[in-house]
Amino acid sequence: MNLEPIITIRGLVNRFGTTAVHDGLDLDVFRGEVLGVVGASGSGKSVLLRTIVGLQVPNAGHISVLGTDVLTADPEHLRTVQNRWGVMFQGGALFSSLTVRENVAAPMRERLGVDARTRNALADLRIAMVGLPVSAGDKSPSELSGGMRKRAGLARALSLDPEILFLDEPTAGLDPIGATEFDELIKALQQALGLTVFLVTHDLDTLHATCDRIAVLAERKVMVTGTMAEMRLVDQPWIHAYFNGPRAHAAQPMSVAT
């Protein structure tokens, strides 16, 4: 893992009415890592992701992505930076009126000056990369299973060949086998493509399987960052319960007897 920050957040404040979700939040995400973001319900995990990608305007703070302050950059430069990241939302968030291929090609149609034939060929490549059959490209999202819709959403997030991948609860709603397969897919793609992955999750199995570091949101800030092993040593009630409870022990990989 490269210790060069690819995302830098300082003093972030997000308020909804009189309720502060983030208050002076700081975080660095390093190039080439998979960072898992966890926290109790209402801690602002998804709000943080949405703020970084520009869907939520913060009340205060600075966010630098790929060396650009995304809160103050001019629209043309910001658009160039946005082309270098991809986002997979919960449930895939696919356009129901478009086929899977059209969904995956949509960012290309909007942002790349390539013809339809090239877009479709590139979309089919992304569809194959996430483990879907090429025939899935002709289907509508409603014809796919939940797991296939998530893979289609991931294919669309990879549409522009991004450097950074934002994933919001990627395994939510999947059965254990499907979640494990999706975790393996994320890790394989991250390693093959050299991606930096910002992953919001509550799934301990996903943290074990995919994440290099973990950032814990609590008390409106990033309370602590570190590896899974380091999280187990943190003396804070919620963090201790989360990383040392029965579900955490069940999620730990079984040690091999020697």
pLDDT top residue among 221 and 253: 221
Higher per-residue confidence, 113 vs 203: 203
pLDDT band at 250 (very low <50, low <70, confident <90, very high): low
Q: What is the pLDDT of residue 3?
A: 80
> How large is the average pLDDT for residues 49-76?
95
What's the rounded Cα separation, in Å, for the pair 230 and 29? 17
pLDDT digits (tens, 9 = 90+) for 96-136: 999 999 999 999 998 887 899 999 999 999 999 999 998 99
The reply to whether the predicted model has a pTM over 0.75 is yes
**pLDDT for residue 157 is more than 50:** yes
pLDDT value, residue 248? 62
Please report, for residues 25, 226, 253, the alpha-carbon distance to residue 233 in angstroms, rounded to integers and kept in the order given: 22, 10, 18
What is the SS3 assignment for 220? coil
pLDDT band per the 50, 70, 90 thresholds, residue 171: very high
Give the whole-angstrom CA distance, residue 214 versus residue 224. Answer: 8
- Cα gap 111→120, rounded to integer Å: 14
Rounded to 5°, the CA angle 125-112-89 comes to 65
Which of 14, 26, 84 has its CA nearest to residue 51?
14
Closest by Cα among 207, 196, 230 to 38: 207
pLDDT in tens, 229-239: 999 999 888 89
Q: Please give the distance of CA 227 from its chain centroid, rounded to a whole number.
A: 18
Question: Which pLDDT does position 254 carry in this prediction?
Answer: 47
Q: Hey, what are 157's tokens?
A: 């997030």
Question: Three-state SS for 42?
Answer: coil
Mean of pLDDT over the chain: 92
Look at the chain and count its residues: 258
Confidence class of residue 193 from pLDDT cuts 50, 70 and 90? very high
